[in-house]
Amino acid sequence: MLDDITRISSEFDAALAAANTAAALDELRVHYFGRKGGLIPALFSRLKEVPKEQKKDAGDALNKLRDRLESELKEKQERVAAEEAKRKESRDIIDVTLPARLPNLGHLHPVTIIRREMETIFSEMGYSLDPGPEVETDWYNFEALNFTPDHPARDTQDTFFLDVEPYLLRTHTSNVQIRSMENHTPPVKVLSCGRVYRRDEITMRRSPMFHQAEGFLVDKGIHIGHLRATLEHFIKRLFGADSKMRMRPSFFPFTEPSAEVDMSCVFCKGAGCGTCSQTGWMEILGCGMIHPQVLRNVGIDPEEWSGFAFGLGLDRCAMIKFDIPNIRTLFENDLRVLQQF
């Protein structure tokens, strides 16, 4: 027993001298003091086999050995930990000669890019910008815009009505037309870009929240030629100078006459492809001359003034311009997508 104590004592000294990392010292601790198979606990458990007359000496020697090993191990562990901390600190010193790391800059969302381009194009033509409120009353969203009381757009299937009457979430940005015309005497030109809401399921092309842009102009002697020239300028600026447009008769309650506007397909340039269903055209916006009743609703004399209005989906523009097939891509905030813009 005493021989074993002497042997383990000198083995420990050599092993301690060789262990110079926290990990090696921890290994050493387990080897000597570990609850399972540690050399020191093993010696203690052998004490009961020692003959009675030698027990005291063996016990004393064993206690001494344990105390010495423990304190020496602890001392070295503390020294090594301090040295490692010091080395880490010196590694963290800033090397001012290294080139600067570029900050991780954010990206504009594709819809924001389109909105800003549109706002620039129309600002240059003298339009003022007004996003208008998203929570609206029935008057501004429907009634003043000549929607009859039984118009299907007023159905709860299509509109989010708030619990507080008569408020609702606007279904289009046309509410800004009414508010602007109420607050300004003509001539007036306004572009309104913002969020609108409809009770739609989320599909490839539809979302219950989407972005619309609405422009309108009221002045003396405005006719459909002004509308066409304005839209042609806008489409060529946003989608390229070789873009063509055509107008098809349509119906909206707040314009008369009304038209849908198609532009030449940006992918095949009019030749016909899968995206444009081989027609060479893509639907891009709705427009028309402001209905005389709408002008009367805001106290503007339609005999003296006339105007045009147009509206389009910013999400759809972004999908066309950046070739994004699914509207959901725009709202998922996937950095792999957003970083491409």
Q: List residues near Zn ion by CB under 5 A.
A: 265, 267-268, 273, 276
Taking the least distance from each CB to Zn ion, the nearer of 69 and 319 is 319
Taking the least distance from each CB to Zn ion, the nearer of 33 and 267 is 267
Residue 78: CB atoms within 10 A of its CB come to 11
Taking the least distance from each CB to Zn ion, the nearer of 202 and 271 is 271
Instruction: Please report how close the Cβ of residue 281 comes to Zn ion at its closest, in angstroms.
Output: 8
Instruction: Please report how close the Cβ of residue 213 comes to Zn ion at its closest, in angstroms.
Output: 23
Dist CA 75 CA 19 (whole Å): 13
Q: Whose CB is nearest to Zn ion?
A: 265
Instruction: Please report how close the Cβ of residue 163 comes to Zn ion at its closest, in angstroms.
Output: 45
Dist CA 131 CA 194 (whole Å): 6
The SS3 of residue 321 is helix
Strand partners of residue 209:
197
Taking the least distance from each CB to Zn ion, the nearer of 114 and 276 is 276
Instruction: Please report how close the Cβ of residue 134 comes to Zn ion at its closest, in angstroms.
Output: 34
Strand partners of residue 308:
217, 289
Instruction: Please report how close the Cβ of residue 324 comes to Zn ion at its closest, in angstroms.
Output: 16
Instruction: Please report how close the Cβ of residue 341 comes to Zn ion at its closest, in angstroms.
Output: 23
Taking the least distance from each CB to Zn ion, the nearer of 63 and 278 is 278
Q: Helical H runs in the chain?
A: 2-18, 22-33, 39-46, 52-91, 110-124, 138-141, 175-183, 224-239, 292-297, 314-321, 335-338
In degrees, to the nearest 5, what angle opens at C-alpha 144 toward C-alphas 162 and 148? 85
Taking the least distance from each CB to Zn ion, the nearer of 290 and 317 is 317
Residues for the chain: how many in total? Answer: 341
Please list, residue by residue across 82-110, b when 16 or more beta carbons sit within 10 angstroms of its beta carbon and e when fewer do.
Answer: eeeeeeeeeeeeeeeeeeeeeeeeeeebb
